[in-house]
Amino acid sequence: MHGMAAGLWLVVALAASAQDYRDYLCKEIQKPFFRVTGKNGGVATVRMARRLAHDISFDVPKPPKTKRVLVAGESVAEKLWSADHDALTEAGAKAWPGWRVEDLNAGMTAYNSRRIAGVLEEGLEFDLDGAVVLSGNNEHDALELCPSVWDGLERQFMRSKLYRTLASAKRTPEEHAREPALEEPAS
């Protein structure tokens, strides 16, 4: 009896964990990555607002003699940051002597290029002096956890005869001669 209860508990825990992971990847990206958390005079404090983001805050407008670098990417980028010792801040201090360097590390586990692009787009609003983008490890379309209706329609369209005809019409005669004809998909 205990074995059956433990097995049931494991199934429930795994299902909850999978739902939590989908929420992290699908619902969290609908929220802004950065959030203004306070204002003091003409200076706003901005924080990274998504769950599992680093606890980093910075001022807007950027303080004088400060260089601001955004790191956006998946877990590889996320692991580059440390509150105590940060290689990017050290390298920035060597590149810009006498300047304070802010590392806005927005690396997030399991993010793909679509999610990273959204973070980068938001980050561009904060007077950056540079950006590092690390992407490419999580590009698995077949495993997209929160597909939209459009994604399915897009995939179907790209397999359609209409798409193949339009793609073929776009090619030059030289390209037609070099490339094999598009085949009908198997039914």
Q: What is the pLDDT of residues 47-105, one digit of tens each?
A: 999 988 999 999 999 999 999 999 999 988 888 887 777 788 889 989 999 999 999 99
Return the DSSP state at 179: S
Would you give the distance in Å from CA 138 to the centre of its chain?
Answer: 9
Task: Calculate the average pLDDT of the chain.
Answer: 79
Angle at 176 between CA 175 and CA 179, to 5 degrees: 80
Which of 20-24, 40-44, 158-162, 170-174 has the highest average model confidence (pLDDT)? Answer: 40-44
Mean pLDDT, residues 121-149 taken together: 81
What pLDDT does 63 receive?
A: 96
pLDDT band (50, 70, 90) for residue 111? confident
Instruction: Tell me the two tokens of residue 71.
Output: 């790191």
Burial of 138 (0-12, 13-18, 19+ CB in 10 A): buried
Starting from the edge strand earliest in sequence, which strands make up the sheet with 57-60, in order? 34-40, 43-48, 57-60
Mean pLDDT, residues 113-125 taken together: 92
Share above pLDDT 90 across residues of the chain, in percent, rounded to a whole number? 37
What pLDDT does 119 receive?
A: 94
**Is the predicted pLDDT of residue 170 greater than 80, yes or no?**
no
What pLDDT does 138 receive?
A: 81
Instruction: Tell me the two tokens of residue 13.
Output: 């825990």
Mean pLDDT, residues 135-161 taken together: 67
Place of tokens 């003699």: 65
What pLDDT does 126 receive?
A: 95
SS3 16: helix
Task: Measure the CA–CA gap between 69 and 56, rounded to whole angstroms.
Answer: 13
What pLDDT does 145 receive?
A: 59
**Is the predicted pLDDT of residue 36 greater than 70, yes or no?**
yes
Task: Measure the CA–CA gap between 50 and 4, rounded to whole angstroms.
Answer: 37
**Is the predicted pLDDT of residue 16 greater than 90, yes or no?**
no
Task: Measure the CA–CA gap between 168 and 175, rounded to whole angstroms.
Answer: 9
- With residue 60 as reference, give the H or E element that holds it: strand 57-60
